[in-house]
Amino acid sequence: MLPSLYRELAPWYHLVDPVEGHRDEADALATALGRTASRPLETLLELGAGAGNNAFHLKRRLRCTLADLSPEMQALSRARNPECEHVLGDMRTLRLGRAFDAVLVHDAVCTCWARRSCSPPPAPRSCTRGPAAPRSSRPTCSGTASASRPRPSRETTASAPCAA
C-alpha cells in the first residue's frame, strides 16, 4: 500500500514538495545524463515520476514519458505536464515495449524499498538491451532470478539506449 501522502493527501503534495525546488536538481540531472550519452538525448522515461516536478523542468529539453504507481500523484503530474505521456504502473514490472534514450529513477526507489510491504517483483521472462547496443554486449536473462545472470558493463550501459 502506498503512503497516505501519495494517495488521500496528494492534493496537498505541492506544499511539501514545490515544483520550484526542483529546477536546480533537474538541471543537474540533465547535465549528468548529457555527459554520459553517446548521442544527443531526445526521450526520457521517468519511473516513479510522482507529481511530475522533475519533468516540469526536463520537458523543455526531452520528450518525457512519466510512469507512477499512484493514480492521485499521476493526476497532479498530468495537470502540471499535459504535454508529457503518462503511464500508470509499477516500475518493477512495467514493460512499454520501446526504447528510451535515458531512464530516470529519482527517489522512488527509496520510497519503495522503505515500505515493509514492498517485495521484489518476479523476474522478467526475457529482456534484452535496446537495439543500439552491439550484439556482443546485449545481456539477456531467462525466466528466473539468478545472481549469475549476465550484467552489462559500465561502458555499455552509458552508450546504449535503455529499453523498458
Domain count, the chain: 1
Residue 48 grid coordinates: 516513479
Terminal CA-CA length for the chain: 24
The residue range of the domain holding 38 is 4-121
The answer to whether the Cα torsion of 16, 11, 23, 34 is positive or negative is: positive
Check whether 136 has a pLDDT greater than 70: no
Average pLDDT over the chain reads: 75
Give the number of other CB atoms < 10 A from CB of residue 81.
22
Let me know: does 77 contact 66? Beta carbons within 8 Å.
yes
Q: Over the stretch 59-94, which tens digit does the pLDDT of each residue have?
A: 999 999 999 999 999 999 999 999 999 999 999 899
| Spatial separation of the C-alpha atoms in residues 127 and 139, rounded to whole Å | 8
pTM, rounded to two decimals:
0.67
Q: How far is CA 85 from CA 62, 65, 80, in A?
A: 12, 5, 12
- What is the percent of the chain where pLDDT is above 70? 62
Please report which confidence band the pLDDT of residue 132 belongs to, taking 50, 70 and 90 as the band edges.
very low
| 161 within some domain | no
Please report which confidence band the pLDDT of residue 128 belongs to, taking 50, 70 and 90 as the band edges.
very low
What CATH number is attached to the domain comprising 113? Answer: 3.40.50.150
| 75 within some domain | yes
State the amino acid at position 151 in one-letter form. R
Check whether 120 has a pLDDT greater than 60: no
Helix (H) or strand (E) holding 154: helix 154-159
Average pLDDT (155-163) is: 38
Q: Over the stretch 95-110, which tens digit does the pLDDT of each residue have?
A: 999 999 999 998 776 6
| 24 within some domain | yes
| 163 within some domain | no
